[in-house]
Chains A and B, each alone.
Chain A
């Protein structure tokens, strides 16, 4: 079915390792977002992109990197500089033309080994 696909569902990172979380959408939405959720807390914005080949830092961008080479894809890399990466990561999209609502993927749970 159409929508937002995040993969993998679960991911484990070793010390010093970079890992990449995938977010793909077939909704033809312009804007894409990455949020981090820690247990019992709200969502915090990591990065967002409103158009291809452009992205902006959110509130907690340190230790993360992104790219937006295609409209459909917005991968998030958690680098070794992110010392506390264990969290639930949510990707979201939004259409400029079809209303203001954010649509969320199913999330990736990242844990440190």
Chain B
């Protein structure tokens, strides 16, 4: 059974600071996804990482994938309040027939 673990689960940071969220998974995969969820809302796609060494950046967020270590990171640069949300990673197993397994989510609060 595929397990996806995120850490930290809760993150409180000051505006202007940098931090990294980690996503570890337990089986072979080269497809990893990052999503953002605001309270009471649906999920918004942030990044799709499809190969080892993939790096994607959008604004203050940068995601990377290391398939050999079974690890993805979401790096936040110079955080701003608008980034406060819950961030999920999701992993697609190679033999799953298009199923995604989600991590528990990281609840990020950026304080002024």
Contact = CB atoms under 8 A, between A and B. Distances in A.
Given A90-B43, A100-B48, A101-B33, A41 B98 contact: no
A2 interface: no
Interface in B82-112: 88, 90, 92, 97-105, 107
Interface in A24-56: 31, 33, 35, 40-45, 48, 50, 56
> Interface range on chain A: under 10, 10 to 19, 20 to 34, or 35 or more?
20 to 34
B99 A45 contact: yes
> Interface range on chain B: under 10, 10 to 19, 20 to 34, or 35 or more?
20 to 34
Interface string B25-66: 000000101000000011111001010000000000000000
Given A100-B31, A100-B50, A107 B102 contact: no
Interface string A7-37: 0000000000000000000000001010100
